Structure 1
Amino acid sequence: MTRIVAVSGVLPAHRYRQEEIAEALAALCLPPGTDRAALRRLHAGAGVTTRHLALPLERYADIDGFGQANDAFIAAALDLGERAVRAALAESGLAAEEIDLVVSTSVTGIAAPSLEARLAGPLGLRPDVRRLPVFGLGCAAGAAGLARLHDHLAGRPGQAALLLSTELCSLTLQRSDASTANLVASALFGDGAGALLAVGPGHPRYGTSRGPEVVATRSRLYPGTGHLLGWDIGDRGFRIVLGGELPELAGLHVTEEVAAFLAEHDLKPADVTAWICHPGGPKVLDALQDGLGLPESALAPSRRSLARSGNLSSASVLHILRDVVAEGPPPPGSTGLVLALGPGFCSELVLLRW
């Protein structure tokens, strides 16, 4: 089995209260003279207290078009990504040249060469490192990336692999767009990056780490739901698609999928000690909690992460896993579940054991 030996999460320096962001975005998204009460209610009900943004708040009014937004994405993503990887390397005790595979995920910007290719030299990765940049899995990519690391290490048990997630959701904001989806996104999503290092059972670090093992993974597409979540990509970049039915789908189909996955390992939701659940928003978390019959404490790490930094797309589960470990890892033998949802509509599950 794969063992996680380090996980990090980093945030940009520009931190703002939710109320500050709401007022700034009202000026960008709403027509002059529009009543801002509805936007303020959306921001107040998002479960977010503060967020960190890639740029100073006043800079967003100056971004003109997708090209400028994407240039800003590349610059900020490289800085955050390097910080996240260096933090994970320092925690793990591994050197950059020991990494054999890098899976790099983002759905909020485009870079070719990809981010991990641009970071290879500054970080000291080997020229022959295997690279797998991933786009399109959205918020599910943090869990899916961990699953793909596990797949790789199952066949190469002596190797080490790195997952890098870099998401700058604020740079996808659509100016002069007063649609419900754009306003909900403006209330919910934040910016950040995370990195995770894992090794196979034949690696020397495997037996000396107290990190969790990956026991099993599952990917699931839900037919007929592809229109509910994703991007419409146009001249001005990424315009979010965000269906109102998502919480209901999470409460019905995703909870059934989680229960079936756990049952395959003779487990029930009540047997899971650590829930590393992507904070898709208060309604999604409520639906998962109710559908799985979980106590309020089970998803508390997800709600705290949402309040502190917003929905970080694929990076959120790495931040939450880091928090769970930092607060004191669960006792040996405890079970954890990484759960994330994304475009498709899809879910990604990773079963952990300490």
Structure 2
Amino acid sequence: MQTPTTDAQPSIAAVAVQFPPNRYTQDEAIGALIDLAGPDFRRFALRSGVEHRNTALPLAQYRELDGFTNANEAYIEVALDLAERALLTALDKAGVKPSELDIVFSTTVTGLAVPTLEARLATRVGLRPDIKRVPLFGLGCVAGAAGVARMHDYLRAFPDHTAALLAVELCSLTIQREDISVANLVATSLFGDGAAAVIAQGANRAGREHTGPRVLATRSRLYPDTEEVMGWKIGADGFRIVLSADVATIAEKYLGDDVREFLADHGLSPSDVTTWVCRT
């Protein structure tokens, strides 16, 4: 994304993030979770580079989660609170009223809710009865970027509209007590809890006072035979992480050429990009 001089593309009006109030050092988290995550958890957690983490629940309450049902009920309660605060903060920063939103996208992959989060928020925050909803599930770590891309597509078709994207993940509620695999230890050590909201406006709605970045173009790629590289196995015990050591190999094999091709299609090269935001 960059900020061009033209108003031909949708623009980002505001971004807001919210974290649960329960904040701990990594050492505190290790002490509380080591008997749940296994003895090797300390070694992985200390090498993760994480100094602090915010958790959906106070650490002592994780011992009380005796199955997927309790964990998912906690997910819905905390996710709604964080999503509401993130959305209202972003709307306030953008100078947009809840009733002015035309569509809300939501992304999550760490809990299940039907009706989905954005539907449950509609009356709580004052969205219009005719609000369009697009809940997205299963996009994982790339969900925020994919959500912005889909929001961009919509606003190109409806340049007079205003859109919101909600991304909520509560990874700590997916902890697996019986799983001592390297994948689970890495995930428990690294992945955190939080929510973000993005407000974007079509080209005809974006006011001159908004100087946020414009989304110029997006692209995604599907790689063959990678279904078992990253994801979840979902069952009676909830969300069990799938995380292969092949992630780095696949990124190295495909990513460079894909990025160069994408930029070239827009008359650019990697040397033209001054800031990179990467997530693998």
TM-score (norm 1): 0.75
- Percent same amino acid at aligned positions? 51
Could you tell me which amino acid in structure 2 is paired with residue 221 of structure 1? L
Could you tell me which amino acid in structure 2 is paired with residue 14 of structure 1? N
Separation in 2 of the partners of 1:170 and 1:143? 22
> Retained in 2: the 8 A contact 1:160–1:197?
yes
Separation in 1 of the partners of 2:58 and 2:128? 35
TM-score (norm 2): 0.94
Instruction: Indicate the residue corresponding to 1:130 in structure 2.
Output: 132
Instruction: Indicate the residue corresponding to 2:234 in structure 1.
Output: 233
Separation in 1 of the partners of 2:179 and 2:101? 43
Separation in 2 of the partners of 1:26 and 1:269? 43
Matched, 1:149 2:151: yes
CA-CA distance at 1:59 after TM superposition: 0.7
> Retained in 2: the 8 A contact 1:200–1:206?
no
Alignment deviations for residues 162-195 of structure 1 (CA, whole Å, 9 cap, x no partner): 0000110100111122111111111010000000
CA-CA distance at 1:249 after TM superposition: 1.5
Structure 2's unaligned 5+ residue stretches are 1-8
Could you tell me which amino acid in structure 1 is paired with residue 48 of structure 2? A
Give runs of aligned pairs for residues 129-208 of structure 1, distance below 5 A: 129-203=131-205, 205-208=206-209
Separation in 1 of the partners of 2:128 and 2:165? 16
Could you tell me which amino acid in structure 1 is paired with residue 266 of structure 2? H
CA-CA distance at 1:25 after TM superposition: 2.1
> Retained in 2: the 8 A contact 1:3–1:201?
yes
CA-CA distance at 1:26 after TM superposition: 1.6
Query: Partner of 1:197: helix, strand, or coil?
Result: strand
> Retained in 2: the 8 A contact 1:228–1:241?
yes
Alignment deviations for residues 37-68 of structure 1 (CA, whole Å, 9 cap, x no partner): x4323112222111100000111111011000
Instruction: Indicate the residue corresponding to 2:19 in structure 1.
Output: 11
Instruction: Indicate the residue corresponding to 1:117 in structure 2.
Output: 119
Root-mean-square deviation over aligned CA pairs = 1.2
Query: Partner of 1:145: helix, strand, or coil?
Result: helix
Moved more, 46-55 or 158-167: 46-55
Matched, 1:273 2:274: yes
> Retained in 2: the 8 A contact 1:25–1:186?
no
Could you tell me which amino acid in structure 2 is paired with residue 28 of structure 1? L
Structure 1's unaligned 5+ residue stretches are 31-35, 281-354
Matched, 1:262 2:263: yes
Runs of 4+ that moved beyond 4 A: none
Query: Partner of 1:275: helix, strand, or coil?
Result: coil
2:33 to 7, 25, 32: 25
Query: Partner of 1:267: helix, strand, or coil?
Result: coil
> Retained in 2: the 8 A contact 1:3–1:206?
no
Separation in 1 of the partners of 2:27 and 2:141? 25
The number of equivalent residue pairs is: 272
Could you tell me which amino acid in structure 1 is paired with residue 174 of structure 2? T
